[in-house]
Structure 1
């Protein structure tokens, strides 16, 4: 469904040049949940931003259902592909109510039955009508992220790009949001591309994953590979070791 071939993303500032993504390729099947992992600065979030047209692509191809995406992205692209960002407070306008946040994409894409669609979106993410006219500062972190998910879902997309959607949340709230995302994918047949530095999250959510280091794709693993700790590169082995946490040796 989504095909990225030899993607390059280069940022320039004067004479300085940073190759944030270098020749990355991946393929995601319809209905699959695909993970991208790596340490901070590895380029994993930049891949998502390039897919949705928020990062400059200097080389390579991005195809949706076999058709190359235009730059800038056409409006119909955003009907099919939506992104959920890392920080739910930063991604919501602080002076807009939940109703305004959810109404805006419906107005842009000229959807009908707006009141009904807003009610359905809030219900889908476990929020009642009582949240509709609240402001972001009146919501908890988990509730804000649920609103961000509702905003992404309200256009009835087929693909969600999830950029560390739970890393800004407390551990107990993380589990609630991950379970919500898991349920929505099963109910709606959604396709996910999820970025995370947390291997436990990726293991729970994704069937396959790509490991990135310094803008390069160094390895692709299955969920079973990850759980059995089968890693073919030293970098992935170090990530697995780091994810196991610290132990104190007896002295």
Structure 2
């Protein structure tokens, strides 16, 4: 199967702190691949490195067979888009939803802007009534739907999802995850998803990488996580922690 995203021995260094240590992975076209680990494990840094938002000091990244350089151009962003964790901070507070969706279309020279904006809003379940609202007039779930619409409007083939539901209430989380899964099926997208919630990763992803301290711990099928068929103690501890507090007898 065709590889959509290939990362080879990627290293990210901030001053003297090594945030990623020679991480490699290959994500197949149309696959949903998960990255899990505790805070500071390097999973979000990996996404940011792909997006050009973290300093890569060594290694290589290939998108759809094309080697990436140090900077990201418009051609890259037409193929790869990122949805961030915080729906409150990722949208400009002084821009309407219409302006937020129009801006990437204008930058990339797309025509039929009216049709594209309406399609994007319909696809994420908002509709035209939300088009001229500001972000402060939206709930957290609605803001994240706008962020997803903005990512989809350029018709990318890969979405980088950095904890896309962790800032949302549980009921809204389920709605947004179902939306993402529907969009992936409809558009045959490739997902790389970061989450601390192992249940989310098991539900959304076919394969995953467990990370600790900027390194790979192990790689699993989602079914292995569900059945606890794991090899490393660190992964077992993550599974126990994901169950939450259990009162002793």
Could you tell me which residue of structure 1 aligns to residue 180 of structure 2?
181
Whole-angstrom distance in 1 between the partners of 2:72 and 2:197: 30
Unaligned stretches of 5+ in structure 2?
none
Q: Is residue 67 of structure 2 the alignment partner of residue 68 of structure 1?
A: yes
TM-score for both structures, normalised by structure 2: 0.98
Partner of 1:226, secondary structure, is helix
RMSD: 0.6
- Aligned pair count reads 246
Match runs of 1:49-60 below 5 Å: 49-60=48-59
Could you tell me which residue of structure 2 aligns to residue 136 of structure 1?
135
TM-score for both structures, normalised by structure 1: 0.97
Could you tell me which residue of structure 2 aligns to residue 99 of structure 1?
98
Deviations 1:82-115 (A, max 9, x none): 0000001100000100001000000000000001
Partner of 2:49, secondary structure, is helix
Q: Is residue 8 of structure 2 the alignment partner of residue 5 of structure 1?
A: yes
Could you tell me which residue of structure 2 aligns to residue 126 of structure 1?
125
Deviations 1:36-75 (A, max 9, x none): 0011111100000000111000000101122211221121
Whole-angstrom distance in 2 between the partners of 1:67 and 1:76: 11
Could you tell me which residue of structure 2 aligns to residue 26 of structure 1?
25
Could you tell me which residue of structure 2 aligns to residue 149 of structure 1?
148
Whole-angstrom distance in 1 between the partners of 2:237 and 2:245: 13
